[in-house]
Structure 1
Amino acid sequence: MVANGPQSHVCRLSDAAIIGADPWLRTRLDHPEDVAVADDGTLYAGGENGQLYRIQPETNVVDEIGNTGGFVLGVTIGPDGALYACDFQQHAVFRLPIDSDGVAGDLEVVVAGDSDTAPRHPNYCVFDSAGRLYISDSGERSEMANADGCIYVVEPDGTGRILTEEPSAFPNGLALSPDESRLYVAETGLHEVSAVELVDGTTEAVTHVTDGFGMVDGLGFDWKDRLYAASIGDNAVYRLADPRVPTADQEIECIIKDPDGLIIGNPTNISFGGPTGHTLYIANLGLWHLTAVDLSGE
């Protein structure tokens, strides 16, 4: 079943909860592109004016703990417990140290490019267990289908290089397979997902996975190694049970969809957290909040 075909939804909109904003928007997030979950359940997100937010999902308390001075896209928690943030206006990935008491330190630059040198448009980043930081560089924004993006990698010693110039059509969200043999890439310009085959931080091959998620933006794996995709154009999150199996041989499930875009609006990236790790958190670039969906029954 393809993403734009008739579908039943695994979850109803009434199952979703708004995180990071109150009904009067006295508390709100500035169009969050991504959400990262710390080991203690704390959420982190960025804003379109460089904000770095800490969000307590149980109390909806939001604190701005840093600012990159640009426009924050993807965020992730590193193996050192620091918050890493991609800022496409600054052509840089930043590191914000956070101590055991949750106190943020001074912002540092991990890697920076410019309008001509990678990473030009750092969009999303993810670590492997060896400490390598993979970064999607989306390339030229004005014509996504013909963008000249790449995947960039920063080694544990701090040296950086272009890992692969394929996929290139606005590479966006990333998800590392649980066995770290594949880096899944949302190629937004083509509405496709590709997989970069990895061996010790080098590229073996790039394969097509699916074009069944609509205008895909962000990716993530759940506790059963199923691949989820946030579709910014469909206001929906989809799921593929086994991304190694051809999509013609399995159903693409619609987890949740918001036709009106009020609870889930232009969803961009996703993460899992909560007490059991079964809560799906969705970042909504078109709204002022995150969305939480309990999938513990799944």
Structure 2
Amino acid sequence: MTLRNRTLAPRAPARLAPLLAAGLLVCGLAGAAEPPTVTGLKTPESVLLTSDGRLVVSEIAGFGQDGDGRLSLVQPDGSLQTLVEQGLNDPKGLAERNGIVYVADRNRILKVDREGVMISFVPADAFPTPPKFLNDLVFDAEGMLYVSDSGELLSGGGGGAIYRITPEGEVSLLINEAQNPAIRNPNGLLFDRANPRHLLVLDFGTGELLRLDLSQGAQLSKLASGFGGGDGLAQDKQGLLILSDWKNGKVFKLDLKRAGAQPVVYPQAFQASADLTLSADGKTILVPDMKAGSLVYLPK
């Protein structure tokens, strides 16, 4: 699929040159006191920085409307280009391996190549139980893909689960709410840099940060709480964890290496902070603001 130039943004002022030098797009600037912001996105849910430097955003557009979701590329020159123009049903979490972008698309997982060609990877009927709200994606070091199913998130119910998927697309259940009630509406997934067998899980329904120890048969423990509608997870090279609260429009940082550390909230307010990531240099948090239709570059 040919890339299409969709929105041309204004050039950034000279005072923001250091951000551009770090590979950051700056557009839709609201003022000196506000962080740089990309505007013109349709219900952005997740942002991914790929290994080859592409910045991909999933756009849900209308919730529950089949076919109107898309993927966009944020360009360094201040423009948005469409990678996948249509055919997605509520795309959310993104992950990348060997240049291929994987997309959690409501009840299925798709693969998208660099040209925007989209194929099915895991259809809905490949799951042990019909998925309800596939959300975040993350790869482990061996190439196994993990996906959260947030269950009855939209109606306030539970029923969440986390699945593990082989490179061939074979799905197995890792854990669900029936096995442990703490897995109510799992959302953000991330492997801890300090221990690659520890899968961090941020639950939307409980606002808790959990740890799944995969070396101990998916043993679950709680690390922290108070994250409202827990959504995205990111971690810098020093181990500092970044978390988003969709319900309350907040972003937190948490130092897992420091015993007794408490979450610290950033002063920047969002309408609905979603599945975030870090810039290549680790100095900026890229936050999709779903209800505002924007991508905010928040200094870490």
Q: Are residues 1:272 and 2:272 paired?
A: no
Partner of 1:43: 55
Partner of 1:177: 192
Residue among 79, 85, 88 paired with 1:61: 79
Q: Are residues 1:205 and 2:219 paired?
A: yes
Return the offset for 1:116.
8.7
Contact 1:209 1:243 in 2 (8 A): no
Residues 11-62 of structure 1, C-alpha deviations (whole Å, 9 max, x = no match): xx9352102x2xxxxxx11110110002343210111231011111x32211
Return the offset for 1:117.
2.6
Return the offset for 1:204.
3.2
Q: Are residues 1:85 and 2:103 paired?
A: yes
The residue type paired with residue 104 of structure 2 is C
Residue among 262, 265, 284 paired with 1:254: 265
Return the offset for 1:142.
4.2
Structure 1's unaligned 5+ residue stretches are 1-12, 22-27, 259-263
**2-side partners of 1:222 and 1:255: how far apart?**
16
Residue among 237, 240, 251 paired with 2:251: 237
**1-side partners of 2:87 and 2:214: how far apart?**
31
Residue among 201, 207, 214 paired with 1:191: 207
Q: Are residues 1:131 and 2:143 paired?
A: yes
Return the offset for 1:92.
0.5
Partner of 2:123: 112
**Structure having greater relative contact order (Cα 8 Å, sep ≥ 6):** 1
The residue type paired with residue 108 of structure 2 is A
Check 1:192–1:251 CA distance in 2 against 1; reply closer, same or farther (3 A cut): closer
Return the offset for 1:210.
1.2
Contact 1:113 1:120 in 2 (8 A): no
- In the TM superposition, 1:19-38 aligns within 5 A as 19=38, 21=39, 28-38=40-50
Q: State percent identity of aligned pairs.
A: 23
Partner of 1:24: none
Partner of 1:9: none
**1-side partners of 2:287 and 2:159: how far apart?**
28
Partner of 1:287: 292
Contact 2:111 2:118 in 1 (8 A): yes
User: Residue 142 of structure 2: SS of its match in structure 1?
Assistant: coil
Structure 2's unaligned 5+ residue stretches are 1-31, 61-67
**2-side partners of 1:44 and 1:154: how far apart?**
22
**2-side partners of 1:163 and 1:170: how far apart?**
14
Check 1:160–1:116 CA distance in 2 against 1; reply closer, same or farther (3 A cut): closer
Check 1:51–1:221 CA distance in 2 against 1; reply closer, same or farther (3 A cut): same
Return the offset for 1:223.
2.1
Contact 1:238 1:256 in 2 (8 A): no
Check 1:243–1:190 CA distance in 2 against 1; reply closer, same or farther (3 A cut): farther
Contact 2:45 2:274 in 1 (8 A): yes
Partner of 1:220: 234
